């Protein structure tokens, strides 16, 4: 087992654990904005997981999926925050 | 050369995993909402950025394919993460404090969180449209 595979396993474990912690924070949060922040963090961690999967499989087809996750995560977070602030997303 | 590239990629991957885990752990453990914003917007962004750079270096140095997609995603994440933090902080201000509890903004203007249109929010109700403060 090469050093790259070990590092890949470590990074997979770390981001999976981070995803579980964020999921816990989505389920049990003291406030509304905590849930939005946890959802945003889940989207960001998902980008990292997709990229790690791409390294492991040795293919580059997952970068479009990562790009989509980045854009959708950002836009959904802004829409959530705008909805809290104004009650209306497109003014 | 190849072993050096592999060690570099592995170090970036380990650093990325560590920082991603620290960001999520900070999201769960820190005591206050404004401090909890620090974890995901700084540590997790750094973790994702180093994983993406590791992927770019791996495909470049070990497989001979130079692709700029990862750099594009890294720049996008690094640009959008502070904006996300700003928006969530504004929403948290809106949910947590009334207008009189905040320090006054500089020159007779109102915090835009409490400005015109904020009374439409279904989550919280703020008092009335903005009035000139004394």
Sorted by where each begins, the domain ranges of chain B are 2-96, 98-134
Residues above pLDDT 70, as percent of chain B:
77
Q: What is the pLDDT of residue B121?
A: 62
Which residues 24-63 on chain A approach chain B with CB closer than 8 angstroms? Answer: 24-25, 30-34, 36-38, 40-41, 44-45, 47-48, 51-52, 54-55, 58, 60, 63
The per-residue pLDDT for B117 is: 59
Mean pLDDT of chain A: 88
**pTM, to two decimals:** 0.82
Mean pLDDT over B21-29 rounds to 91
Kindly report, residue by residue over B31-72, the tens digit of the pLDDT: 888 888 888 889 989 999 999 999 999 999 888 888 888 899
Question: Of residues B104 and B14, which shows the higher confidence score?
Answer: B14
Q: For A2, name the nearest residue in chain B, comparing CA atoms only.
A: B6
| Cβ <8 Å between A17 and B21 | yes
For residues B91 and A33, is the Cβ–Cβ distance under 8 A? Answer: yes
- Complex ipTM value: 0.88
Phi-psi region of B111 (alpha: psi -120 to 50; beta: other; left: phi over 0): beta
Q: What is the pLDDT of residue A14?
A: 93
The mean of the pLDDT values for chain B is: 81
d(Cα A77, Cα A86) in Å, to the nearest integer?
14
Q: What is the pLDDT of residue B92?
A: 84
Q: Tell me whether A65 touches chain B (CB under 8 Å).
A: no
In angstroms, the CA A79 to CA A19 distance is 22
Q: In whole angstroms, what is the distance from residue A16 CA to residue A8 CA?
A: 12
Q: Which chain A residues are Cβ-neighbours of B11 within 8 angstroms?
A: 7
Cα–Cα distance between B14 and B123 in angstroms, integer?
41
Which letter does DSSP use for residue A60 in this model? S
Chain B positions in Cβ-Cβ contact with residue A18 (cut-off 8 Å): 20-21, 23-25, 44
- Are the beta carbons of B74 and B53 closer than 8 angstroms? yes
- Contact between chains at B24 and A22 (C-beta distance less than 8 A): yes
Whether residues B20 and A18 touch (CB distance < 8 A) is answered with yes
């Amino acid at each position: 087992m090469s050093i790259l595979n070990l590092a890949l396993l470590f990074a997979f474990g770390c981001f999976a654990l981070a995803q579980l912690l964020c999921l816990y924070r989505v389920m049990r949060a003291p406030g509304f904005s905590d849930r939005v922040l946890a959802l945003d963090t889940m989207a960001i961690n998902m980008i990292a997981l997709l990229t790690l999967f791409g390294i492991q499989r040795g293919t580059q087809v997952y970068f479009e999926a990562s790009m989509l996750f980045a854009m959708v995560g950002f836009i959904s977070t802004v829409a959530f925050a705008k909805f809290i602030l104004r009650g209306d997303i497109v003014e | 050369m190849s072993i050096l590239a592999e060690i570099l990629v592995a170090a970036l991957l380990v650093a990325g995993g560590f920082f991603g885990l620290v960001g999520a752990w900070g999201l769960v453990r820190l005591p206050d909402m404004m401090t909890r914003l620090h974890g995901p917007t700084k540590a997790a962004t750094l973790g994702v950025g180093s994983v993406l750079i590791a992927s770019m270096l791996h495909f470049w140095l070990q497989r001979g394919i130079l692709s700029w997609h990862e750099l594009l995603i890294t720049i996008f994440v690094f640009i959008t993460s502070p904006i996300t933090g700003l928006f969530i902080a504004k929403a948290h201000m809106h949910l947590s404090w009334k207008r009189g509890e905040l320090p006054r903004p500089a020159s007779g203007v109102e915090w835009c969180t409490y400005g015109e249109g904020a009374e439409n929010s279904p989550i919280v109700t703020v008092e009335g449209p903005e009035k000139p403060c004394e």
